[in-house]
Amino acid sequence: MRVLLVGGGGREHALAWKLAQSPRLTRLIAAPGNPGIAACATSVPVKDTALDELVALARREQADLTVVGPELPLSLGLGDRLREEGIAVFGPSAAAARLESSKVFAKELMARHDIPTARFGAFDQPAAARNYARRLGAPLVVKVDGLAAGKGALVCRTLDDADRAIALCLEARAFGEAGHTVVLEEFLSGEEVSLFVLSDGAAVLPLTVAQDHKTIFDDDRGPNTGGMGAYSPTALFNADVADRAMAQIVRPTISAMDKDGHPYSGVLYVQLMLTREGPKVVEFNCRFGDPECQAILPRLDQDLLPLLEAVALGRGLPAAVDWRPESSVCVVLASGGYPDAYETGRPIHGLDHVRDLAGVNVFHAGTAMKDGRLVTAGGRVLGVQALGDDLRSAIKTAYAAVERITFDGVQFRRDIGRKALDRR
């Protein structure tokens, strides 16, 4: 098969790394790719939002399958454009991708179909939003309706915090059009896990779970980021929780999308809060998580390509997926200042020094080549992933690799997976 992979971040590097291992793969093209992806695919400098160029590239390369990594091109309708051209695509339509691209759409769908989630209200006027905040009480969460690269959820510990968040979104327009409408919802207490499933629009295949670490600093302090690390699997997601999540959330959601005329085909990433009342939806995502993807794919003990092809062509999903028994940990190395303003172009050192560490992968998220040197080119720069016989050994190996990699201003959390160890 000839495969076109759309995207150029850490998630896409993990996908390229896994796809390149398939005996069925004859050619892998990445658009735009990155220096890490270039080791296992042919990179073409086409932006992941340049829909016309991507469609032309898929035609020119005679792609048998196009795998869309990021959420933005899906929300813009890349999947629809490719299907119109008769090109098989792994990723939902723009209408189905509204599960992620519009918090209002997702919350209203859950309300109509009795899918467990937090109480909420949607507002485009600051005064009405502030009034509802007082009805909910603090703590609460203010979320922008549209896509905000994982940074559009503002946890408000007090009503004053909520007023400031509402002003930031609806008055200062800090999130642009994505924040034209906000969702206010009750704060859910519990542990959060990321559940991944595949669906061809009707059948559903559970994959696995991971736990992400969203904030920039240790002990879950500081502002939210796109994700500073993840581990998989998690003992929090036992068989009982899994059964309830599938029966009460995942299957009803896929069924609801089909009934509403927007069948969901692709990977569905469900952020769950494990509350005392049971699992509830925090939000949906229409793609693999980042950095969860980097943590889970090294545990997949079978070929990824036939799974993606089965979803894209609707040819029938298998009954189950094989996973390696080891634990996996991914630690993100970020630029100094991230998630706020940060500098790029800082030379990266030490990658050669991790190649002798067994079970370690380094996935490129925000890197570039400049004058023959690898430099930083984004907020999240690298994802250092390791396998271990248990979580403790995976953490130890991942951080041993992290200590060998340096660039000016590097920052990373030192507690990825620690809560799971403390829980035990």
Chain segment 366-410, per-residue pLDDT in tens:
999 999 999 999 999 999 999 999 999 999 999 999 999 999 999
Distance (Å, rounded) from C-alpha 233 to C-alpha 206? 13
Report whether pLDDT(124) > 90.
yes
User: Taking a C-beta distance cutoff of 8 angstroms, is the pair 387, 400 a contact?
Assistant: no
Radius of gyration of the chain (CA): 21
**pLDDT on residue 151:** 79
Q: Can you tell me the mean pLDDT for 81-102? A: 97
**pLDDT tier at 212, thresholds 50, 70, 90:** very high
Per-residue pLDDT tens digits for 241-267: 999 999 999 999 999 999 999 999 999
Closest CA to 75 of 91, 56, 62: 91
Distance (Å, rounded) from C-alpha 214 to C-alpha 227? 5
Distance (Å, rounded) from C-alpha 373 to C-alpha 371? 6
Q: Can you tell me the mean pLDDT for 195-216? A: 96
* Sign for the pseudo-dihedral over CA of 420, 421, 423, 424: positive
Per-residue pLDDT tens digits for 278-328: 999 999 999 999 999 999 999 999 999 999 999 999 988 998 999 999 999
Percent of the residues in the chain that have a pLDDT greater than 70, as a whole number: 100
Place of tokens 């998989």: 232
**CA distances, 150 to each of 354, 407, 419 (Å):** 29, 24, 22
Report whether pLDDT(60) > 90.
yes
**pLDDT on residue 370:** 96
**pLDDT on residue 148:** 86
User: Taking a C-beta distance cutoff of 8 angstroms, is the pair 367, 407 a contact?
Assistant: no
**pLDDT on residue 424:** 72
Residues 6+ apart with CB under 8 A from 227: 150, 212, 213, 214, 289, 290, 291, 292, 332, 380
Instruction: Map out the domains of the chain with their CATH numbers.
Output: 2-91 (3.40.50.20), 125-180 (3.30.1490.20), 191-313 (3.30.470.20), 327-423 (3.90.600.10)
Here the tokens at position 397 are 């190996």
Per-residue pLDDT tens digits for 141-169: 999 999 987 778 999 999 999 999 999 99
Distance (Å, rounded) from C-alpha 399 to C-alpha 401? 5
HEC readout, the chain: CEEEEEECCHHHHHHHHHHCCCCCCCEEEEEECCCCHHHCCEECCCCCCCHHHHHHHHHHCCCCEEEECCHHHHHCCHHHHHHHCCCCEECCCCCCCHHHHCHHHHHHHHHHCCCCECCEEEECCHHHHHHHHHHHCCCEEEEECCCCCCCCEEEECCHHHHHHHHHHHHHCCCCHHHHCCEEEEECCCCEEEEEEEEEECCCEEEEEEEEECCEEEHHHEEEECCCCEEEECCCCCCHHHHHHHHHHHHHHHHHHHHHCCCCCEEEEEEEEEEECCEEEEEEEECCCCCCHHHHHHHHECCCCHHHHHHHHHCCCCCCCCCECCCEEEEEEEECCCCCCCCCCCCECECHHHHCCCCCEEEEECCEEEECCEEEECCCEEEEEEEEECCHHHHHHHHHHHHCCCECCCCECCCCCCHHHHHHC
Per-residue pLDDT tens digits for 16-46: 999 999 999 999 999 999 999 999 999 999 9
Cα dihedral value 291, 242, 187, 148, nearest 10? 30
Distance (Å, rounded) from C-alpha 106 to C-alpha 179? 16
**pLDDT on residue 78:** 98
Q: Is the peptide bond before 32 cis (omega within 30 degrees of 0)?
A: yes
Average pLDDT, the chain: 96
Percent of the residues in the chain that have a pLDDT greater than 90, as a whole number: 96
Q: Can you tell me the mean pLDDT for 336-342? A: 95
**pLDDT on residue 423:** 84
